Every structure is written in C-alpha cells, then in structure tokens.
Amino acid sequence: MKYFSFLLLLLSVTVNAQVQRHRAVTLMGSRFDITIVANDSLSAENYIDEAIAEIERIENLISEWRPQTQISEVNRNAGIKPVKVDQEVLRLTQSALHFSTITQGAFDISIVAMDKIWKFDGTMTALPSEEAIQKSVEKVDYRNIEIDTINSTLFLKKTGMKIGFGSIGKGYAADQARKLLELKGVKAGIINASGDLTTWGKQVDHSYWTIGITNPFETEDFVKIVKLKRYAVTTSGNYEKFAEINGQRYSHIINPKTGYPSTGICSATVFGPSAEIANGYSTSIMVLGVEEGLKLLELNPEYCALIITDKGKIIYSKNFKKSKFTKN
C-alpha cells in the first residue's frame, strides 16, 4: 500500500513539474498560435519547432503563392497537362471535391481564379455590375478539376484555372501538427491557425482547454464558452472582412457559383474531430445559409455548429447539446 502511494506521489511531482509554452508565428500567410505542455521548457520549445516545421512542410506542398510548390505547378499547367503530385496533395484535393459535391459547388477550391472585383478594405461603395460578376467566375468550376489516382496527377481542364487551399489548408496543417506531436508523445497542446483550432489533452493545471466563441457584434465579448479535450473548432465569419453597401453587409466569403458574397450569417463555428473537415463545413454554411447549412451538417453527426445571423440571432445545430466536448 505504501508502494502504491509512493507511485502516486511521484506521478504528482512529475505532473506538477510540467510546463506550458506558447509561441505565435506567421505561417501560410496567417498567424499560428502554438501551445505545448511538456516536462520541461527545452522540450516544449523543441516540440513547437517541430510543429512549425510540419506546417512549413505542408505550406511548401499546397501554397498557390510559392512558385516551387506542387499546387503552383498544377496551376501553371492548367489547360496544358496533368501534373504529378504527392498522395497527400491528392487526398486533400479529394477532400475539397467532396465538399464541392455535397454542396453542389457552394464550396470550391478553384475560386482562387475568380477575378478580384470585390474589395473589403472599406473603399467599395457600389456593387459591381451584373456582367462583371458573371465574368468573374468564368474560370471557377470544381468539375474541371481532374484527379487521376492511378498516376497520382491533378489536371485543371480549363486554361487560366487555379486552385488553392486557403479554406481547408490551415485546418489540415493544424490537424497534422497535432498528429505529429501526439506520435512523439506530447500529451497536450493547442494549435490555433487563425481560427482553425485543434486541441488535445489538458492544460498544465489539469483543466480542459477553454475556448470562447467571439460575439461578432461585440468582439470583446463571447457568445459561448466551451471546454475541449481532443477536438477541433473552426469559425468562418464576415465580422472582420466585409463591405457595407446601401446598408447591406457583404462577406469576404464569396459564393463560387454566383460570384456574390455570402449574406445572412455573421459567423459559423463548427466543432468536430478534424479542423480540416470543420472548416469545410463552416465555409459551406456561410455560403449556403442557415437552413441549407444545417441540413448539410446533418450528413455528419460527428460535427455540430453554432451560427450567428446578421440580425444577432444564435442558432445551434440539433446535435450541439449532445456533443461531449470534454469527453472525446
């Protein structure tokens, strides 16, 4: 009995000796906040370095801004020839096309080819013409993305097409960084990729990670606070980047099918096991609207949502209260 108590005492000392370290860095064009719980400061900092290296590895595969990446090569060869890519890139593209299929194009990674006719810097005072809007999406169509799984190639059928992973890419990177650190034995941490967030384990004081969902009308306030163990959360919203024209707020999230910005929803927050998948849902909900967005979410009961309309109404998906955030 004394031996058993001694083991508990040693365990307690080990836990109490743990440290929690945080670092903010710019990756994939966005701010990443990485927090790690480890046995000592040096280990924690080394693990953060490894997480950063993993995210940079992914960025060097999928960035459409870096000329040396596989995605940039795919874009340069649009309408010309298929390009061989890693299985990882192929899988991420398949994930994006899955969302395109189930939303009938409301989610589309080829939207990066859209002409930039909307401005969300406060300078826009009038809507673009209908002709300009229709022309802006001429090169946007997920159905022209061709995947060859046998030869591991991607081909964009139309000249001038482009694809990019600004939607699910950061969530995927956060997922992969978490996976890498878990494999290395890191018991707890949080990776926040500018709103695409993954967590696992508990904080150094044994409490769960506590996440506040921002009130888009009072950004210093929260509409909901949740506690997470191993989970992911993503938020898509228009309260930081938007255009206001004739009293109507237009989100920077564009409907790929119409060329018009999404309206009606200020923010869509989705919870579930994967930040990549959660972001696919949150982006799609912003475009589809509340009713169709909630129907979409019913296809995958592992994910739930909190939606705030542009009138300030808070709407929860049917399974939100049943989700056991701290019991995964």
Question: Considering the domain 18-62+168-316, what is its CATH architecture?
Answer: Roll (3.10)
The residues near 164 (Cβ < 8 Å, ≥ 6 apart) are: 64, 71, 109, 111, 112
Torsions phi, psi for 222 (to 5 deg):
-120, 140
- Give the integer Cα–Cα distance in Å for 206 and 37: 11
Class of domain 70-156: mainly alpha
Task: Tell me the pLDDT tens digit for each residue of 246-302.
Answer: 888 788 899 999 999 998 999 999 999 999 999 999 999 999 999 999 999 999 999
Q: Phi-psi category of 185—alpha, beta or left, where left has phi over 0 and alpha has psi -120 to 50?
A: left
Task: Tell me the pLDDT tens digit for each residue of 319-328.
Answer: 998 887 765 4
Q: Which residues are annotated as a binding site for Mg(2+)?
A: 167, 283
* Nearest one of 309, 36, 313, 50 to 176, comparing CA atoms: 50
Per-residue pLDDT averaged across 1-14, rounded? 31
Task: Tell me the pLDDT tens digit for each residue of 259-273.
Answer: 999 989 999 999 999
- CA dist list (Å): 175 to 40, 164, 205, 227, 305: 24, 18, 24, 18, 19
Q: How much of the chain is helix, strand and coil, in % rounded to 5?
A: 35, 30, 40
pLDDT of 16: 56
* Domain spans in the chain, listed from the N-terminal domain onward: 18-62+168-316, 70-156
pTM above 0.75, yes or no: yes
- Give the integer Cα–Cα distance in Å for 40 and 14: 10
- What CA dihedral angle connects 237, 240, 312 and 326, to 10 degrees? 50
- Give the integer Cα–Cα distance in Å for 236 and 215: 13
Residue in the block written with tokens 């542009």: 310
Task: Tell me the pLDDT tens digit for each residue of 182-208.
Answer: 999 999 999 999 989 999 999 999 999
